[in-house]
Amino acid sequence: MSKDSTPAESQPLSDVPLVQLRQISKSYGGPQVVRQVDLSVERGSIHGLVGENGAGKSTLCNIIAGVTGQTDGDLVVDGERVRFRSPRDALGSGIAMIAQELALSPVSSVMANVFLGVEPNVFGVHDRRAQRRAFDSLVERTGFDLPADAPVAQLSVAAQQKVEILRAIARDARLIIMDEPTAPLTHVEAEQLFEIIRHLRDTRGTTIIYVSHFLADVVDLSDRITVMRDGQHIETRPAAGQTPETLVRAMLGRPLDTAFPQRIEVSPTAEPILEIRSISGAGRFKDISFEVRPGEIVGISGLIGSGRTEVLRALFGADPIDSGEVLLDGSPVHFKNPREAITEGVVMLPESRKEQGLVLVRSVAENAALTDIGQFSTFGIVRRKRRREAVQRKIEELDIRAGSQDMAVGRLSGGNQQKVLLAKCLMASPRVLLIDEPTQGVDVGAKRAIYQLIVELAEKGLAVVIVASDMEEVLGLAHRVLVMFRGGITADMPFADANHETVLAAAFGSSPLSSASPDPVTASTLG
C-alpha cells in the first residue's frame, strides 16, 4: 500500500473525513463503470449507498476495500492518499468489507473463520483458550448465537452472514462496508443486524457504508445517503427527510410506480393443477396440504427454518417426500428427481441463482437452454441456430438486457441474471412454477418488472407458488397466503384477510391454527 501526504494533515484528524474519493473512475478495458466520483464518508456515521444494479455501487466499495484499484482519481484515508493493492492492505487501514458473495472457508469452523489470520497466540503458538474467550465475548456483544465449532458449510446463508460480521468486528475495523447484508435475512434477523450496526456506531465509533436495495431500511438506518446512477455520483444528502420514493426518483432519474401489478381473477370452480395432500418430510415439514388452480399465485411466508423452502424442494423432486400425496391435474405423481418434475411441467426457480440456478461463467444462451437442452439437440449435437432463435424469443419476452446471447451471465446485473433464470425455467413450457425468493439481490426497477412477469405468467394459466422473506412480496402478489411455523402450516388465508400483523403472528405460531401445528421439527429460530 502506498501513501502520500495531503494538505488535510494540517487539520485535526477528527475533522477530516475517514474516507474521501476524489474524481474516482474505473474501467475494465471498455466503458467506465465508475465516472469521476467525489464522495466523503464521515467518521462514526452510517452512510447509505443506493442505486440500481449496474450503477457502480459495488465497484466503488471494491475500490475502498482494496479488492480492485481505481483507473483514475485519488482514494484518501485519514487525510492521506492511499492505493490499496489488496483487501489485506485495506484491513491494515482498518477497512473491512462484507460482500454479497460471502468469503468463508466452508470446511472450517465458525470460530476459525472469525479469527482467520488474526488468531491469538503466545510466543507464536496458537492460544485456543484465548480464542474461545474472544469468540464468546463477540457472541455476547452481538447477540449472534452461533455454534463455535460447527463447520460453516452446515450453516444457513443467514448464519454465514453473521459469521462475516463477527469476522469484521474481530479485526477492530474502523470502517465496515456491508454490501446487501440483509438479502438472506428475515425481517426479524434484519432488525437484529440494524441494532448491531447502530451499537457499533454509537459505542465504538465504527463507520459503516451500507449498500442495500431495501430503501426503507436505508432511510431508517443511515445518517447520510448517497445515490449513484450510471456510474456517477448523483447526490449525497442527510437521511432525514428522505423517503424510498425520493431515492427512487434520484436513482432512476424519474418516478416509478412501485406498487404491485393488479391481481387477475381466479375461477374458484377451476380444477386445481397442483394438489398437495398431507405431505411430510422427516425433520423438515409435516402434514402440508394446499392446492393451486390455473392462474393462481399462492404465497408461502414464515421464518427462515420454518420449512417453506424445504416444501418447494420436495415438490420439485430435489428432496424426498416420506408420506402424503402430490397430484398433478388430478393424477398422483412421485418425482424421484428434478428431471422427472421438469418432464411433467413442474419447474423451480431456486433461492440462490448463483449457487443453484446459473452457471455464471457460461453464456446467456447456454444457461437459458439448460432446462430442456434436448429440444435443441439432434443425436446429442446442439443445433445452435435453433437454440439461438428460442433464446432470443425469451430475451425479448422477458426484456433481458444483455449485450448478446454469448455474454457470460456473471457479467449481467442481478435483475437480468434473475430474468435469465426465469427464462431457463420457462424454456420447459411448465404448468407449475415454484419460485423461492423471486427478487433477491434485485434493484427496485427490476423488481417491478419481475413482479409483472410473474403476474403475466399466472394470467396465461400457470399455477405459481412463491416463497419470499419479504412479506410485502407475498402480500402484494399472492391470491392466497400460507404461513409456516416449525414445519407446519399455521395459517391459510385469502389475500383480503392477510396483512403484516396476521402473517407475522402466524409466523411465530400464534394463529388460531397453531394448536393443530405439528410437533417441533428441526428448524432454526430467529434472534
Mean pLDDT by 10 residues, the chain (527 residues): 56 80 88 90 96 84 94 94 92 87 85 86 81 89 84 85 85 89 74 87 92 90 94 95 87 69 89 96 94 96 88 95 96 94 92 80 84 66 77 85 85 84 88 91 77 92 92 91 93 91 81 40 31
Whole-number Å distance between alpha carbons of 430 and 331: 17
Cα four-point dihedral sign 360, 362, 367, 368? positive
> 522 and 450: one domain?
yes
- With 0.85 as the threshold, say if the pTM is over it: no
Q: Is residue 372 part of a domain?
A: yes
Whole-number Å distance between alpha carbons of 157 and 153: 9
Report whether 175 contacts 95 (CB < 8 A). Answer: yes
Report whether 162 contacts 144 (CB < 8 A). Answer: yes
> 39 and 140: one domain?
no
Q: 10 Å Cβ neighbour count for 236?
A: 17
> 86 and 139: one domain?
no
Q: Is residue 59 part of a domain?
A: yes
- The residues, any chain, with a CB within 8 Å of residue 282's CB and separated by 6 or more, are 322
Strand 207-211 relative to strand 46-50: parallel, antiparallel, unpaired?
A: parallel
The per-residue b/e assignment along 58-76, b for 16 or more CB within 10 angstroms, e otherwise, is bbbbbbbbbbeebbebebb
> 316 and 409: one domain?
no
pLDDT of residue 101: 67
Q: Please give the DSSP secondary-structure letter assigned to residue 180.
A: S
3-class secondary structure, 445: helix
Q: Is residue 86 part of a domain?
A: yes
Last residue of a domain, one of 224, 252, 280: 252
Q: Is residue 351 part of a domain?
A: no
Residue 137 structural domain: 103-172
pLDDT of residue 455: 94
Spatial strand order of the sheet with 323-328 comes to 285-292, 274-281, 323-328, 331-333
Last residue of a domain, one of 131, 151, 172: 172
Residue among 180, 171, 40, 156 at smallest CA distance from 106: 156
Whole-number Å distance between alpha carbons of 25 and 511: 54
Hey, what's the cell of 229?
446512477
- The residues, any chain, with a CB within 8 Å of residue 3's CB and separated by 6 or more, are 80, 81, 82
Whole-number Å distance between alpha carbons of 291 and 342: 19
Whole-number Å distance between alpha carbons of 418 and 349: 9
- Model confidence pLDDT, tens digit, residues 246-296: 888 888 776 655 568 888 899 888 999 999 999 999 989 999 999 999 999
Q: What angle do CA 521, 523, 527 make, to 5 degrees?
A: 140
> 144 and 220: one domain?
no
> 394 and 484: one domain?
no
pLDDT of residue 8: 45
Amino acid at 298: V
The half-sphere exposure of 120 on its side-chain side, counting CA atoms within 13 A, is: 11
pLDDT of residue 17: 93
Q: Is residue 352 part of a domain?
A: no
Whole-number Å distance between alpha carbons of 108 and 98: 18
Last residue of a domain, one of 210, 231, 252: 252
How many domains would you assign to the chain?
Answer: 4
> 485 and 369: one domain?
no
Whole-number Å distance between alpha carbons of 495 and 140: 40
Q: Which residues pair with 502 in a beta bridge?
A: none
Q: Please give the DSSP secondary-structure letter assigned to residue 277.
A: E
Whole-number Å distance between alpha carbons of 264 and 454: 11
Q: Which residues pair with 348 in a beta bridge?
A: 434
Whole-number Å distance between alpha carbons of 403 and 413: 12
Strand 432-436 relative to strand 346-349: parallel, antiparallel, unpaired?
A: parallel
Strand 377-378 relative to strand 381-382: parallel, antiparallel, unpaired?
A: antiparallel
Q: Where are the beta strands (DSSP E) in 159-206?
A: 175-179
Q: 10 Å Cβ neighbour count for 25?
A: 18
The per-residue b/e assignment along 401-425, b for 16 or more CB within 10 angstroms, e otherwise, is ebeebeeebeebbbbbbbbbbbbbb
Whole-number Å distance between alpha carbons of 515 and 523: 18
> 178 and 305: one domain?
no
> 484 and 508: one domain?
yes
Domain CATH number, residue 487 = 3.40.50.300
> 179 and 85: one domain?
yes
Cα four-point dihedral sign 249, 251, 256, 261? negative
Q: Is residue 374 part of a domain?
A: yes
Spatial strand order of the sheet with 80-83 comes to 2-4, 80-83, 72-77, 19-27, 32-41
Q: Is residue 350 part of a domain?
A: no
> 296 and 341: one domain?
yes
Q: At what angle do helices 157-170 and 128-142 cross, to 10 degrees?
A: 110
> 17 and 82: one domain?
yes
Whole-number Å distance between alpha carbons of 208 and 211: 10
